[in-house]
Amino acid sequence: MILVLVETENGAASEISLETLAFARSLAAEGGGIAIRAVVVGAVEDRDALAAELGAHGAAEIHHAVGEAFTSYAGAAWAAALQAIRESTGSVVVTAAGSPRGNEVLAHLAARLDVPMAANATAFHGLAPFVVTRQVVGGAALEEMKLDQRPAVFSVAGHSWAVSPVEGASPAAWVEVTPEVAESDLVARVVATGTKEVDHSDSLKSARVVVGAGRGAGGPEGFGAVAELAELLGGAVGVSRVVTSLGWRPHHEQVGQTGSRISPDLYVPCGISGAIQHWAGCASSKTILAINTDPEAPMMTKANYAVVGDMHEVVPAIIEELKSRGVTG
């Protein structure tokens, strides 16, 4: 049996949890039709809707952990629930999304059970031995890792599996459980949640146009034209990690694996090499126009359009051209 920890957002499963279910379904099929059980922790607004959704994504049952222990998040408490449900169902595989919570809860579970845990798997190869491929170095390299202990514990990297609901599938059966949680598992517990409004990166994430700048900007004073172009196009400024590490721009402007994921209509990375960890944050942009002195930079070969040149000359020239055409922002 395969156990999948499913995270919910506003009552529905998170996208990456559905991707994880797709991975689990493929694994279940490989194992000759092993059953999939979903685990959901804490408040659920609409059971019927969630049961239908998770049924369509391959879950036969939903084990729903309820109780005071789950009214606010505690990684160890979630792991305690997962551990109890894994024992009662005899599951040989436990998986979750490669999200902050997914990785955290699985690490707790693996520590408790004293088994290995593979973070951010993208594929599996055969069942005996059970080997997964997972992302390392922020996705710049892959590792094949053997998971030969039971349960096999691994998380599934985002964007590595396509979501594919089955039409006409029956809803997952609902099983409510109240796992026992030790006091010590509730010590590190969320005591307050702020509002999303304090998120400075919101405007970046929702921008239709993002003008990016990396080390090629040359210094904190090298962002004037980039910011002006962003403003002319009614967009936002996004930067690489080198830029935030050097303190040239604030962290909330960072695009990438450890920054924001953006999906604007147009992304214009200037002086950004296009390292895989940066690419992870901008790959879903509709159109990418890269500006770089090096035509061989990964960003230049992956982009839809490219301009070879010094950003400090090219960007002001674009601004001038736009203004001459009457674009005023």
Least Å distance between CB 27 and other proteins? 18
Instruction: List the structure tokens of 209.
Output: 């146009």
Which residues touch 239 (CB under 8 Å, ≥6 apart)? 212, 213, 214, 248, 249, 253, 254, 255
Q: Judged by CB, which is closer to other proteins: 36, or 74?
A: 74
Q: Judged by CB, which is closer to ligand FAD: 55, or 259?
A: 259
> Considering the rule CB under 8 A, would residue 327 count as an interface residue with other proteins?
yes
> Considering the rule CB under 8 A, would residue 219 count as an interface residue with other proteins?
no
Consecutive H or E run containing 138: none
Least Å distance between CB 29 and other proteins? 23
- Using the contact rule CB under 8 A, the part of the chain among 21-29, 35-43, 112-120, 167-175 near other proteins is 112-120
Q: Judged by CB, which is closer to other proteins: 170, or 284?
A: 284
Least Å distance between CB 253 and ligand FAD? 10
Q: Judged by CB, which is closer to ligand FAD: 37, or 215?
A: 215
What is the end-to-end Cα distance of the chain in Å, rounded? 57
- Using the contact rule CB under 8 A, the part of the chain among 43-51, 58-66, 165-173, 242-250 near other proteins is 242-250
Q: Judged by CB, which is closer to other proteins: 73, or 174?
A: 73
Q: Which of 187, 224, 284, 294 binds other proteins (CB under 8 A)?
A: 187
* Cβ atoms of residues 100 and 159 within 8 Å: no
List b or e across 119-128, with b for residues whose CB sees 16 or more CB atoms inside 10 angstroms: bbbbbbeeee
Write phi, then psi, for 142 (nearest 5 degrees): -120, 150
Give the separation between CA 270 and CA 214, rounded to whole angstroms: 7
Q: Which residues of this chain interact with ligand FAD, rule CB under 6 A?
A: 137-138, 214-216, 240-243, 254-259, 271-273, 275, 277-278, 281, 291-294, 297, 310-312
> Considering the rule CB under 8 A, would residue 205 count as an interface residue with other proteins?
no
Least Å distance between CB 244 and other proteins? 8
Instruction: Characterize the bridge pairing of strands 173-177 and 209-213.
Output: unpaired
Instruction: List the structure tokens of 254.
Output: 């960072």
Least Å distance between CB 170 and other proteins? 29
List b or e across 271-283, with b for residues whose CB sees 16 or more CB atoms inside 10 angstroms: bbbbbbbbbbbbe
* Cβ atoms of residues 124 and 130 within 8 Å: yes
CA angle 39, 191, 112 (to 5 degrees): 45
> Considering the rule CB under 8 A, would residue 190 count as an interface residue with other proteins?
yes
Least Å distance between CB 166 and other proteins? 27
> Considering the rule CB under 8 A, would residue 146 count as an interface residue with other proteins?
yes
Q: Which of 63, 86, 241, 249 binds other proteins (CB under 8 A)?
A: 241
- Using the contact rule CB under 8 A, the part of the chain among 49-57, 61-69, 138-146, 166-174 near other proteins is 138-146
Tell me which residue of 269, 240, 272 sits closest to 256, measured CA to CA.
240
